[in-house]
């Protein structure tokens, strides 16, 4: 685990966002938690530049997909290296690329698996 | 034309009265004429008698006086002379009666004769004055007496003519009397004939009218009998249960075969009393003021039937009773409930994705909390940290349980039984059921429930909740079809209005087109894409609301549609006592 790895978590479910933050912090990640997409986007604009963006698909009126799309329009140095999307909906045929992300998860997620996937993605990249 | 006809009818009705008046008048006239003639006849008879008597008396006294004078002239003794004096005085007294008395005044031409009679009175006065000298004198009396007889002869002729005139006059009177006695006989007879004829016409007319009236009464009686027979046939053959109830004695007086089959053939069966009690307890007043019934009745055999019908006051065997008409709509009701259940399950199916998402939220928290708790187990202060995680797990489990409870409650089979329930919690439950979907769709659900928390209404709570959920889902779908509609807000309002409660679901999603609005509450009317709804929601909503004795209306307001439910407030025990 690298000390400079960071993750920006965006979920309007405060308990879940808190648990996720706690998990990644315990794993040595610097965590930034936001409960709404506008706040998260503002932080990204301000130069948060996390290693990973983990967002829920539905986070209020501004969806996670919109947050991902907006983030992708940021300058390259402000963009995360890996984009992760979570959703509570049952997905049958949808894939990560359908939402413009690198990793797609259906709640409830296995945090260890998510961590491994991110790590693998980063290592692969 | 109508006015003329009316006048003719009025005249036809009035003329027997006029005939009666004419008959009565003729009778009165006949009576008056008869009395008048009787009086006139009596007067004539009296006149004839008295006037003739006066003339006769005067003539008789003249003859007696003349006779006394002639007898005294033949033998002038004292007795004869005294007789002459007496006769002269009597004759003198008779003459004034001829013209001075009422009877004498009736003699013909008496006025012309009066001076003559008065001259002879003077003559007679002279003779009477000369009588003492004649009686006591010695002069020959015979010439004097003959001279007196000659002097009075003209008086005799005058009196004779008066008598003859009187007789002639009397004859005239008798003739007139005879003619009168003959003439009045014809007039009253004619009048009596007219009266009798009029009376007969009147009686014949009356008899004819009575016969017509009798025929009309008999025809009406036959019609009534026939109608009664037809009605009895209808009542006997009617599939609806019809019974006449004495509410005071809680007894049944009449039942038709359908009622006998529905409850029991015997009027004394205790089920009837229970049915009456239930009906009188559950009776409601409809908008038109009529009494309507919607009851669930448990037969003694255990079967529960859903009955609908009405009550109305009737006169039965001379007493005020209640006619109760009931139909067993259990099958229809069951079919409706099954349809509603199918619609609810369809709604649940449509909501399955949202419900799954909603359930995954607490599960995700639980999963993460458990993962973090495992990490804490190795730490020194594990107990406190793990306990906090377990509390979070418990909270999320309860959250998941609430979601499942909502789904289970929404999905259960409606009972179809009416009961009083609090409106506000029902609306809050319905709003809670769709809250996650609204949140997911970015739609704000605004609640304005300005009713007391314990305000009760009568109906099936589950069905009303289904109606509200259905309306809220329709509003959500309207926004889905018009993504640009703003603001994305749906209002769920409740407020009291004139002893009723208004429940409104209003959106700002552009409203309903006139074409759709015209058939909005008809079955299979939908604007949703194929497969997104059967179009039964609003039709079932109307059925549910009607069963609650309420109304449902739709209208376009501002920039959206508003569905309004008008529901009667239930009579709580307190209000029943007050009533």
CATH of residue B35's domain is 1.20.120.1730
What is the H or E stretch that residue B15 is in? helix B2-74
Alpha carbon distances (Å) from B448 to B452, B506, B507, B541:
12, 11, 14, 21
Whether residues B27 and B161 fall in one domain: yes
Chosen domain end from B383, B413, B443: B413
Is B286 in the same domain as B387?
no
Please report how many Cα atoms fall inside a 13 Å half-sphere around the Cα of residue B257, on the Cβ side.
8
Question: Nearest CB to B361: which of A26, A88, A112?
Answer: A88
**CA B458, CA B125: separation in Å to the nearest integer?**
133
Residues B564 and B152: their CA atoms lie apart, in Å, by 136
- Chain A residues in contact with B350 (beta carbon < 8 A): none
Asked if residue B434 and residue B528 are part of one domain, the reply reads yes
**Residue B376 within any structural domain of the chain:** yes
pLDDT exceeds 70 at position B5 = no
Nearest beta carbon to residue B353 from set A60, A86, A89 = A89
- CA torsion angle B364 B366 B368 B372 (round to 10): 180
Tell whether B129 and B59 lie within a shared domain: yes
Out of A13, A58, A87, name the one closest to residue B365 (CB): A13
How far is B207 from B203, CA to CA, in rounded Å?
A: 6
Q: Give a yes or no: residue B282 inside a domain.
A: yes
Cβ separation of A111 and B358 shorter than 8 Å? no
Domains and CATH numbers, chain A: 6-124 (3.40.50.2300)
Q: B44-100: per-residue pLDDT in tens?
A: 667 666 777 888 888 898 999 999 998 888 888 888 899 999 999 999 998 888 888
Assigned domain for B221 exists = no
Residues of A in contact with B395 (CB under 8 A): 15
In chain B, the number of structural domains is 4
B208 versus B437: the higher-pLDDT residue is B208
B340 shares its domain with B401: yes
- Looking at the structure, tell me whether residues B169 and B82 fall in a common domain: yes
Let me know whether B76 and B64 are in one domain. yes
pLDDT tens, residue by residue, B324-355:
999 888 887 778 778 777 877 777 777 777 78
Query: Does one domain contain both B485 and B547?
Result: yes
What share of chain B has pLDDT > 70, as a percent?
A: 90
In B460-576, the DSSP E strands lie at 489-497, 500-507, 551-557, 560-568
The answer on pLDDT for B577 being more than 70 is no
Structural domain boundaries, residue B382 = 329-413
Kindly report the nearest CA distance between residue B375 and chain A, in angstroms.
8
Strand partners, A84: A54, A103
Kindly report the number of other CB atoms within 10 A of residue B565's CB atom: 25
> Chain B residues with CB-CB distance to A under 8 A?
353, 356-361, 363-369, 371-372, 375, 392, 395-396, 439-440, 442
| H-helix or E-strand spanning residue B366 | helix B330-376
Residue B393's alpha-carbon distances to A21, A88, A89, B372, B396, in angstroms, are: 17, 17, 21, 11, 5
The radius of gyration of chain A's CA atoms, rounded to the nearest angstrom, is: 13
How many angstroms separate the CA atoms of B151 and B425, rounded? Answer: 149
d(CA B97, CA B556): 122
Nearest to B357 among A20, A89, A109 (CB): A89
> For chain B, give me the number of helices (H) and strands (E)?
13, 13
pLDDT at residue B197, rounded to an integer: 83
A103 touches chain B (CB under 8 A): no
Query: Does residue B550 lie in a domain region?
Result: yes
Full-prediction pTM beyond 0.90?
Answer: no
pLDDT in tens, B152-161: 999 898 888 8
Q: Is A81 helix (H, G, I), strand (E, B) or coil?
A: coil
CA pair distance B397, B240, nearest whole angstrom: 53
Shared-domain flag, residues B454 and B339: no
pLDDT, average across residues B28-37: 79
- This model of the complex carries an ipTM of 0.86
At A8 the pLDDT is 97
Same domain, B32 and B151: yes
């Amino acid at each position: 685990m690298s000390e400079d790895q960071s993750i920006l978590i965006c979920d309007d479910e405060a308990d879940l966002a808190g648990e996720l933050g706690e998990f990644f912090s315990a794993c040595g990640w610097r965590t930034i938690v936001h409960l709404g997409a506008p706040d998260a986007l503002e932080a990204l604009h301000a130069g948060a530049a996390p290693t990973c963006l983990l967002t829920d698909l539905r986070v209020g009126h501004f969806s996670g997909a919109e947050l991902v799309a907006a983030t992708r329009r940021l300058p390259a140095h402000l963009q995360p290296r890996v984009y992760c999307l979570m959703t509570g909906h049952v997905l049958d045929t949808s894939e990560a690329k359908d939402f413009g992300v690198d990793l797609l998860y259906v709640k409830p997620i296995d945090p260890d698996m998510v961590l491994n996937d991110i790590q693998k993605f980063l290592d692969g990249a | 034309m109508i006015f003329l006809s009316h006048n003719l009818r009025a005249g036809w009705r009035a003329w027997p009265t006029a005939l009666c008046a004419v008959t009565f008048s003729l009778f009165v006239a006949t009576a008056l004429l008869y009395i008048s003639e009787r009086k006139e006849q009596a007067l004539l008879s009296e006149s004839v008698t008295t006037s003739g008597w006066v003339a006769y008396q005067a003539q008789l006294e003249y003859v007696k006086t003349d006779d006394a004078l002639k007898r005294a002239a033949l033998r002038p003794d004292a007795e004869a002379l005294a007789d002459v004096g007496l006769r002269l005085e009597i004759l003198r007294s008779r003459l004034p009666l001829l013209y001075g008395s009422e009877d004498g005044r009736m003699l013909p031409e008496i006025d012309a004769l009066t001076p003559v009679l008065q001259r002879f009175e003077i003559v007679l006065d002279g003779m009477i004055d000369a009588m003492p000298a004649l009686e006591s004198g010695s002069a020959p009396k015979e010439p004097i007496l003959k001279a007196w007889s000659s002097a009075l002869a003209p008086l005799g002729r005058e009196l004779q003519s008066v008598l003859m005139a009187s007789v002639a006059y009397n004859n005239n009177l008798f003739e007139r009397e005879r003619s009168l006695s003959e003439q009045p006989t014809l007039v009253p007879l004619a009048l009596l004939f007219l009266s009798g004829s009029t009376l007969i016409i009147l009686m014949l007319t009356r008899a004819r009218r009575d016969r017509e009236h009798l025929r009309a009464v008999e025809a009406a009686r036959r019609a009534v009998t026939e109608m009664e027979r037809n009605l009895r046939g209808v009542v006997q053959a009617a599939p609806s249960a019809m019974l006449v109830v004495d509410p005071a004695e809680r007894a049944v007086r009449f039942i038709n075969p359908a009622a006998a089959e529905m409850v029991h053939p015997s009027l004394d069966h205790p089920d009837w009393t229970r049915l009456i009690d239930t009906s009188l307890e559950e009776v409601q007043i409809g908008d038109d003021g009529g009494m309507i019934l919607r009851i669930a009745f448990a037969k003694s055999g255990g079967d529960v039937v859903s009955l609908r019908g009405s009550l109305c006051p009737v006169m039965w065997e001379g007493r005020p009773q209640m006619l109760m008409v009931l139909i067993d709509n259990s099958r229809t009701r069951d079919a409706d409930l099954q349809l509603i259940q199918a619609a609810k399950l369809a709604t649940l199916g449509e909501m399955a994705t949202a419900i799954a998402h909603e359930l995954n939220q607490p599960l995700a928290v639980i999963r993460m909390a458990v993962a973090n708790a495992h990490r804490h187990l190795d730490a020194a202060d594990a107990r406190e940290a793990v306990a906090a995680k377990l509390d979070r797990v418990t909270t999320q489990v309860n959250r998941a349980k609430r979601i499942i409870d909502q789904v289970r409650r929404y999905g259960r089979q409606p009972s179809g039984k009416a009961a009083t329930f609090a409106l506000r919690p029902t609306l809050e439950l319905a709003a809670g059921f769709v809250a996650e979907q609204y949140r997911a769709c970015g739609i704000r659900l605004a609640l304005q429930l300005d009713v007391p928390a314990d305000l009760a209404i009568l109906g099936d709570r589950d069905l009303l909740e289904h109606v509200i959920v259905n309306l809220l889902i329709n509003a959500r779908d309207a926004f889905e079809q018009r993504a640009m509609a703003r603001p994305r807000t749906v209002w769920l309002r409740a407020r009291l209005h004139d002893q009723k409660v208004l429940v409104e679901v209003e959106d700002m999603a552009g409203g309903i087109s006139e074409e759709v609005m015209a058939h909005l509450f008809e079955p299979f009317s939908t604007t949703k894409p194929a497969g997104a709804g059967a179009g039964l929601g609003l039709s079932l909503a109307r059925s549910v609301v009607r069963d609650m004795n309420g109304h449902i209306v739709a209208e376009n307001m501002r920039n959206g549609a508003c569905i309004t439910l008008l529901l009667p407030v239930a009579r709580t025990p307190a209000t029943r006592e007050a009533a």
